[in-house]
Structures are given as C-alpha cells and as structure tokens.
Structure 1
Amino acid sequence: MTTPTERTTALSPADQRLPLMQLLLVGFQHVLLMYGGAVAVPLIVGQAAGLSREEIAFLINADLLVAGIATIVQSIGIGPVGIRMPVMMGASFAAVGSMVVMAGMPGVGIQGIFGATIAAGFFGLLIAPFMSRVVRFFPPLVTGTVITSIGLTLFPVAVNWAGGGNGATHFGALEYLSIAALVLGTILLVNRFLKGFWVNVSVLLGMALGYLLAGASGMVDLTGLDETPWFQLVEPMHFGMPRFELASVLSMCLVVVIIFVESTGMFLALGKITGREICPNALRRGLMCDAGASFLAGFFNTFTHSSFAQNIGLVQMTGVRSRYVTVAAGSLLIILSLLPKAAFLVASIPPAVLGGAGIAMFGMVTATGIKILHEADITDRSNQLLVAVSIGMGMAPVVRPDLFAQLPHWMEPITHSGIAMATVSALTLNLLFNIFGEKNRSQQCTAH
C-alpha cells in the first residue's frame, strides 16, 4: 500500500503541496517581487491619461484584482484555460508605449484603451490555438537563447533598483547600495548556511531585513497612508463604456501577438525549471489564459496581461516549483486589491530592497538559459552565431532605448522589448540555419 509520503514524492514538482505557512510565505515573496511591475503600468498610463491620484489608485487596485484572478487561473487551471504551472500574471509592459500614445489621442483616451484591450483579448482567444503550435520551433538552442536574454534584459532593472530607482535624489548613494548589499548578502548567507524552509524563504528574509533597515534610515515613505481607505471594491467599467477605435484595436492586437511570443519563451523556461514538458496543448492553455485575462481586464479598468518574467527567477532561486505557491500569491493579490492600505504598505518598499533580491534572481534566469544551451550543439558555428546575434538584438533596446525611435510607432511593442527582439531573432535564425538549411542539405544528399 502506498503511503501519503510516497504519493507526495511521486507528484511532479509543480503539483506538490506545501505546509500552509510555507505556502503563504513563499507566495508573499512572489507578490513582493512582482508588485512594483504590477503598479508601474497603471501609474504610467494613468498619468499619461491625466487621471487624478485617486483614479490612478483605483487603476492599481483594478490591476491587482485581475492579476490575482489570472494568476490563480493560470496556476490551477480551469477547463481548457491555464498552463497549471507556477506563473505570476500582471499588466504587460509590452503595451505601455502604444497605450501612452492612445491616451493622448482625441476620441480615444482611457476608455479607448480599455476598448482596445477587450478587442485584443478576444483576438488572442481566437489565435491562441494556432500560436500554440509553434512550440516545435523552440528547440533547446532557441529556448536557451531566449531564457538567457530574459535574464540579461531584466538585470538592468535590478541594477537600477539597487541604485535607488528612477527619481532617486542621489542615484547610487551609499545608503541605497548598502541596503541592496544587505538584502543580497542575506540571501546568499541563508542559502549557504541554512536548509529547507529557510532557503525557500531566503528572498523574503533578505527583503524583510532590508525593509527594516530602510525604515530605520528614513527611506520608507508612508505619506498618504492615513487618507487611504481600508476597503474598496473594484467596480467594472468605472470610467464609463469602453470605446473601440480601429487604429487602437489593431495596435493592441499586435501587442497580444508579441505577448504570446514572450509568454511562449517564459512557459518553456518554467517547463525546464519544473521538469514539466510544454506540449502544444499546455502552451495553448497558457496562451488562452493570457488572452482571457486581457479580455477581462478591459472590463475591469485595466490593461493587457501576461506572465511576469522576474518571477521565473524566484522559482529557480528558491527551488520551490509548486503551482500552489502562485495560487496563494494570486489570492494575496486579490486581498490587496480590496485593502488599499495593505497595498499601500507593499508599494512603500524602497527600490534598493528590490534591487538586492533582483540581482540574485534575474542572474539565476540567465544561468538557467546557459544551462539549457548546453543541451544544444554550441560547437556548430551557425548555432554560435544564432546565440550571439539574438542576445545582441535582445540587449539593443536595453542599452539604447532610443535606437529604434525613428521606426514606425506600430513596431514599438517589438523594438522596445528585449525579450521580443531576442525571440524573433532566435526563431528566424533557427529557421534559416537549421530548419531550412537542414532541409536543403537533405535534398542535396538525396540528389547525389
């Protein structure tokens, strides 16, 4: 007879259940890591649309609600939707450039953005079954290159946080660097000298210690906490009926295609980390959730959603690969969306605290990509060229964001995303060097 312990051991890492306290703590780590990115998109778009501070706060709560729901669905799966892996969802940066332009266009504004989001989500639901078939074009050579690029394109974000973040009075000041070093050092020491549960929550421990020191140093700004309500519901279509403008809809549909390309790379990365094969059916479920979240988001006053790359690093860093951790994290996001004061406290975490954690985790994403590249034939000169050029293309918009500024605006979702640039390059060069090239060589051999 099989014992409960043996049954647990037989489960795949993604399906294992953790004790409640550990589940909540590791889930809270995921929330802390992605929170800054989750609130950044509504902040940027709300300011571009000229919304008041109260309206922008409402946008943030709406984003947290949809992110929480989408994370739970993506992680646990409901019917044909959800990839059933530890995925965190949130508002996608791929659409920011297009939405900022829309916000300033006459007759579009915030209602036009929500309308375009709804239409693009519906478009995504239609094309997800076809996009899911591209998984065969992601061998270890392409997957490893994309995952390496994900880590490298995220790393500047961690460095920027460590220096104090955007708007820091004295970027790179010793106080910021000290906080980041303390967080990073705590994570490293916990991983070196402790085991089990403590390693799983090492990022949380480092960030908690950094937050306390930052608070003692006067770096935590709680101005406005007293005026923030305790409880607030997110009502659908708070800003009025969505508007559907053709140009905005087409632009956002392109964004959804780019999100699908990025998500495919991220799902494959998680598949490698969790030991779960990403077949076309699994990929279809994941992309359906991305599209469904965007469709729902437009009705609930928020924007296109996708999986968050930075949380892949946390899965690799902690070794906790259970999807129930992100289910817990999604539940916490929903609670935060209903409790503005709690959300305010999480938002008060100084960037330097996030920077120390980000250096370790985003570096782990890069290390995962390099590990996967070992499965490919890197001794082949064409494969070396594929890796070199694709990583270079991925870093181009990171090193010089204005490099493609003279190109048409509709290309911005691609040219402003290092992940999208690296993915498109790796896919194209793999077709050129290996798939079409292999076919041509086979035909030549047959002819001889």
Structure 2
Amino acid sequence: MTNAIHPVDQKLPWGRTLIYAAQHVLAMYAGAVAVPLVLAGAIGLSTEQLIYLINADLFTCGIATLVQALSIKNFIGSKLPIVQGCTFTAVTPMIIIANTHGGGAAGLQVVYGSAIFAGIACFIISNYFSKMLRFFPPVVTGSVITIIGLSLLPVAVNWITGPNPAAADYCSPSNIALSLVVLAIILFIYRTCKGFLGHISVLLGLVFGTAIAAAFGMVDFHAVGEAAVLGVTTPFAFGLPVFEPVSCLIMTLVMLVTMAETTGDVMAVSSIVKKPMTEEMLTKALRADGFSTALGGVFNTFPYTAFAQNIGLISMTGIRSRYIVATSGVLLMVLGLFPKLAAVVACIPTMVLGGAGLAMFGMVASSGMQALSQADLQKKGNSMVVAISVAVALIPIGVPSFYSHFPQWVQLIGNSGITIGSIMAIVLNVLLCEHKPKQQEELQAKLSLQ
C-alpha cells in the first residue's frame, strides 16, 4: 500500500513553480482588469481612481486565490488549483447601483456595502447551496463543463478582433494573423517538446507573440513609464460602505448566480485534476467566494468567483498542483503593489492573448466532451439534456440582447450562458431522466477518478 501524494498537493521546485505561476497570471490578467476598466468608465471615475481600482483588484485577486488554493483552517477554500477573479456577472448590477446613488465615489460606497452584505450571505448559505451536488450526475457535469468552454471561446475571439466594431483595426488581418501565429507556436511547442517546455507552451507562445508584435510596432510601452512604482491598497479608500437594502438584495441575487457558475467551475477542475468532487469540497469553495467578495468590499474591489480562463490552462498543461496557483496569487499581490510591473504585463496585445485563449478555452470544452463520454447518451433523456442545455446556453452568446425585454432578474440569469445552461441541464435531468441515486454517485466518483 502506497501513500502517494496526489498531483494537486505536490510541491514542485521553486524555479518551475514561479514560471508555471507566471503562466497562470498572464492567462488571466486581461480578464482580471476588465471589470474595473468597464465599471470606472460607466460610473464616471477619474483616471487616478481607475488606476487605484486596478491595483486593488489585482492585490485582492491574489488574496482570494491564496484562500481558495491553500484554505483557511481547512474551512474556507477548496484546496484545488483555482484562480479567483472578479466576476463579470456583477458588472451591470454594480453600474446600476452606483449610478442610482450618484455615481463616482458615492456610488462605490453603496456597491461596496452591497458586496460585503452579499459576500456574508454567500458564506452563510454555501452549506445549503452545495446540497445541489446530487443533481450533477455525469450527463449534467459533462454538459456544464462543455458549456463553460463554449461560453469562453467568444472571449478569445473578441480579444483577437477587438471589442469595438467601429474601430479601424476591428477584425484586422494583421491582428488575426498574429493570433494564429501565437496559436501555431503554442501547438508546435505542445506537440514537439516534452516535460517542462511542453508544460509552458502557453507562456512561451505569449512571450514570442509579444516579441513579434513589438517588432511590428503593435505594442505600446508608454504605460510602463507612466505607471507609479508603488501602489498600496487601503481599506475603504472611497469612504465607509453604505448598506442600502435594495442594493444588498440585488447583489445577493448576483452572488446566487455566481455560486451556480462557481459550482460548474469547481466541477470542471475536479474532473480535470482527477480529484473526486464532494459536497464538503464545494461548500469550502463557495465559502471562499463569499469570504473574498466581502473582503473585496473592504479593499475597494468587487465580487469574486473561480476564473474559468485558467481551467483550460490546467487541462492543457497537465500541471495540477494547487501550490502553483497559490504562487500565482502571490504574484498577483505583487502586481497590485507595484503598478509598473502590472503595466509590463498589460503590454501583451489582446490578439496575442486571443491566440492562446483559443487553445485554452477549447481544452475546457474538450474536457466536457470527455466527461460526457462517461454518460450513457443512448439512455432515454440524456441526449436531450445535453442538446437543450448547450443550445440554451449559446443563446446569449449568439444574441446578447435576447433577454433585453425581460425583467432585470431574468436578464441577470439569462445573460450568463453558463448559469442558464447549468440550470437547464439540472432541470431537464430531473424531468427527463431515470434516477438511481446510488448508481449516479458511483458513476460520478468513477468519472472523477479516471
């Protein structure tokens, strides 16, 4: 009988750990700063305030990631290699809350009050929310993981094309060509190199892609010179939080939606790293979301969730250690403290990130399909669960305004393809499939171990 350490709990040499951790940071950086960028412009913050928000966001992202990967007294945090970041689900509600209460710093005080309240609520109800795990047999698990991957792919495409259709360089052939070169570099390294080099194929693709972009004058380094050397995040920098009842309820609903997304993300990571998913593990992961969201309200940031961007990186590289992800949390904290370093990372062109994103996000979808192979799709109802849940999840991706005439709470749920697709998979599984709880549990455990 052996007491082999699970790959999730293995500690690698420090040199490799730092490089793998840097790869995680580069993969998620654009997504990490997207929320403060969008919010600041929508509620009328100054450039100085935006810079402060970005620094605070990176710093708190690091703390949240450390909590999720390492755990606090084995009570908060899943001990899985999960990178935490601000959820985009909360952006629209936060903009509405802030602008309803005057915008700017005054609006942020209400946003942070509602975030603290919602984070505490999430922490309290996580133990009950995790009971949903019994509604996730392999057909639902596979559908949800597939939906996560397919929902992320448009993010990579937008990185390549640019977000603004009116921009002169939108869908520029040179941008598309550069992203394909990056993808080709990653695939070449992944296919031909073994061991360490193969595991950092995404990092090398980003480095070579940025170097090529710089050679053609496609990288702007001005922000590095203009960035401050040191930026310290202090609690309640925009004023004490305001706990406005309606805003607190809205943000709590946002966290319920986020908890559903986190459930799918944790399931995906659990399947990829071959560590059986348990109700206790999910509860601890959701507690970490609640804790980090409340902490974000104190440190001038926003609701946190598992970052699906990094799930594909784990699947692609096969490096499963949570200590690598914890190290990436430390690096994020350093970037938050030293804005000049963060500005260097920000110089990576989005089309370079897009080329890497195609590979990483596609791997998430591939993992979902692998999970579905463990479900009996010939069995009555199973195929329909997959078909309808995936189809419904793709609606807001294909037509973002599809739910625009529905009530706000419907839009909140429907506009997240991951959330609406996951709910649909659970409901259809209950309605259409035959249920034998013991066999489902055995199959779920078998899926996680394979």
Q: TM-score band, normalised by the shorter chain?
A: over 0.9
SS in 1 for 2:85: strand
Contact 1:165 1:351 in 2 (8 A): no
Residue type matched to 2:299 in 1?
F
Name the counterpart of 2:79.
Answer: 84
Does residue 117 (structure 1) correspond to residue 115 (structure 2)? The answer is yes
Contact 1:13 1:275 in 2 (8 A): no
Does residue 246 (structure 1) correspond to residue 240 (structure 2)? The answer is no
Structure 2 unaligned residues grouped into runs of 5+: 438-450
Name the counterpart of 1:395.
Answer: 394
- Deviations 1:328-367 (Å, cap 9, x if unpaired)? 1000000000000111111121111001100111110000
Residue type matched to 2:6 in 1?
S
Pick aligned residue for 1:150 from 120, 134, 148: 148
Pick aligned residue for 1:21 from 11, 15, 32: 15
Contact 1:48 1:103 in 2 (8 A): no
How many residue pairs were aligned? 432
Matches within 5 A, 1:56-135: 56-79=50-73, 80-106=75-101, 109-135=107-133
> Aligned equivalents of 2:177 and 2:394: distance in 1?
28
Name the counterpart of 1:375.
Answer: 374
Q: In the TM superposition, what is the alpha-carbon distance from 1:314 to its structure 2 partner?
A: 0.3
Pick aligned residue for 2:6 from 1, 9, 12: 12
> Aligned equivalents of 1:133 and 1:328: distance in 2?
31
Matches within 5 A, 1:13-412: 13-79=7-73, 80-106=75-101, 109-166=107-164, 168-412=167-411
Q: In the TM superposition, what is the alpha-carbon distance from 1:162 to its structure 2 partner?
A: 2.1
Q: In the TM superposition, what is the alpha-carbon distance from 1:11 to its structure 2 partner?
A: 1.0
SS in 2 for 1:306: strand
Q: Percent identity?
A: 42
Q: In the TM superposition, what is the alpha-carbon distance from 1:139 to its structure 2 partner?
A: 0.9
Residue type matched to 1:343 in 2?
A
> Aligned equivalents of 2:99 and 2:25: distance in 1?
32
Q: In the TM superposition, what is the alpha-carbon distance from 1:178 to its structure 2 partner?
A: 1.9
> Aligned equivalents of 1:41 and 1:332: distance in 2?
19
Q: In the TM superposition, what is the alpha-carbon distance from 1:438 to its structure 2 partner?
A: 6.9
> Aligned equivalents of 1:29 and 1:412: distance in 2?
34
> Aligned equivalents of 2:347 and 2:197: distance in 1?
25
> Aligned equivalents of 2:339 and 2:21: distance in 1?
19
- Deviations 1:126-155 (Å, cap 9, x if unpaired)? 101111111111111001000000010111
- Deviations 1:166-211 (Å, cap 9, x if unpaired)? 4752222221112111111111111111100001100000000000
Structure 1 unaligned residues grouped into runs of 5+: 440-448
- Deviations 1:40-70 (Å, cap 9, x if unpaired)? 1011111112100110110111111111001
Contact 1:97 1:412 in 2 (8 A): no
- Deviations 1:260-290 (Å, cap 9, x if unpaired)? 1111111111111111111111111110001
> Aligned equivalents of 1:165 and 1:182: distance in 2?
21
- Deviations 1:86-107 (Å, cap 9, x if unpaired)? 1000110111111111121035
SS in 1 for 2:378: coil
